[in-house]
Amino acid sequence: MHSGRKQEHLRICIENDTRSGTSTGLDRYRLVHCALPELALDQVHTATTFLGHKLDAPLLIAAMTGGTDEAHRINLNLARAAQALGLAMGLGSQRAGIEEPALLKSYQVRDVAPDILLLANLGAVQLNYGYGAAECRRAVQSVGADALVLHLNPLQEALQPEGNTDFRHLLARIAEVCSALACPVIVKEVGWGISPLVARGLIAAGVAGLDVSGAGGTSWSKVEGQRSATSSTAAVAATVAAAFDDWGLPTAVALDQVRKACPAIPLIASGGIATGVDVAKCLALGADLVGMAHSLLSAALQSTEAVQGRLEIIIRQLEIAVFCTGSRDIASLDHSRLASWS
């Protein structure tokens, strides 16, 4: 059942327009151009450290898929590219592999990417449906991950006919997992953003990092609305889902608000990031790492070389953006490098 849903999600994202009805909000910002940078382009450095792991660029290949043969091929292409370029990678939700062990292989990429920062992934709501520290530990150990991501997706679950919608007392369960696991725990949304109030609660619960994952990229309400077209209640389900096409906090808004509210937490920005200039804007808004998913999917369907080529373009765009703000490294990108307007 889980593998079938994963395959359907992947097919819809490949074949259909699943973009959010709202923008990322990054279009409200411009990087301040420095006409006299007083440095050479080859002096620019994009290396960084996240959760103690050195990266050659502040990029995370964000969670996409798993649980099917096609997903395994995609994950291997992504992992090989991450290894070659010194980037981080997140895996798709591993629930399918936990409940159907034969599917675990589709998430396993350590043999081709021994050195990358690798993030395991489970739905946080599963902690209200029988999961606990043991399942979380298994998700991490089964793929040799360095950290666990617990994703929050209340809207997606509410729109799924088979959705798990009991989110009661979940913060306390997340705190228990943070306390029980030896590795860091990161919490992320799946494309509707994390608010400052939720961020503060998660930090108090002991999470090691947050991914704001704002609106502006893939809309899982659209995905679920299109998926429901094959059900007996298609018209009603699709109509319900359509009201949420532009739901959520845009990526730039969520990022800016959470960084101001939580100045010290390691922070990932994702949701509709498409270029190296987008990456630079997110870094200036306070992100430590920037995640990309759908913009890499078509390349991941082709080959490792296609993924690597796409990422090399993004990294080159980032280098030029840093250079043209008069910065030597990504640590120099802050709010002073941004101009904004309504």
pLDDT band per the 50, 70, 90 thresholds, residue 16: low
Helix, strand, coil percentages (3-state) for the chain, rounded to 5, are 50, 15, 35
Across the range 314-328, mean pLDDT stands at: 98
Q: Which helix (H) or strand (E) holds 197?
A: helix 196-205
Q: What is the pLDDT of residue 5?
A: 60
Q: Which residues pair with 290 in a beta bridge?
A: 59, 269
* Cβ proximity of 123 and 95 under 8 Å: yes
Q: What is the phi-psi region of residue 216: left when phi exceeds 0, alpha when psi lies from -120 to 50, beta otherwise?
A: left
* Mean of the per-residue pLDDT values of the chain: 92
Of the given ranges (109-113, 209-213, 245-249), which has the lowest mean pLDDT? 245-249
**2-340, what's its fold?**
TIM Barrel (3.20.20)
Q: Write down the domain spans for the chain.
A: 2-340
Q: Is 37 helix (H, G, I), strand (E, B) or coil?
A: coil
| In the chain, beta strands by DSSP E | 29-31, 48-50, 53-55, 59-61, 88-90, 118-123, 147-152, 185-189, 209-211, 267-269, 289-292, 338-340
Closest to 209 in 3D by CA, of 91, 289, 280: 289
> d(Cα 281, Cα 296) in Å, to the nearest integer?
19
Tens of pLDDT, residues 52-92: 999 999 999 998 888 888 999 999 999 999 999 999 999 99
Q: Residue 316 corresponds to which amino acid? A: R
- Strand pairing category for 29-31 and 338-340: antiparallel
Widest Cα–Cα separation across the chain:
64
Tens of pLDDT, residues 19-34: 777 899 999 999 999 9
Name residues whose C-beta falls within 8 Å of residue 134's C-beta, 6 or more positions apart in sequence.
none
Tens of pLDDT, residues 144-183: 999 999 999 999 999 988 899 999 999 999 999 999 999 9
Across the range 293-312, mean pLDDT stands at: 95
Across the range 297-305, mean pLDDT stands at: 95
Higher local confidence (pLDDT), 210 or 234: 210
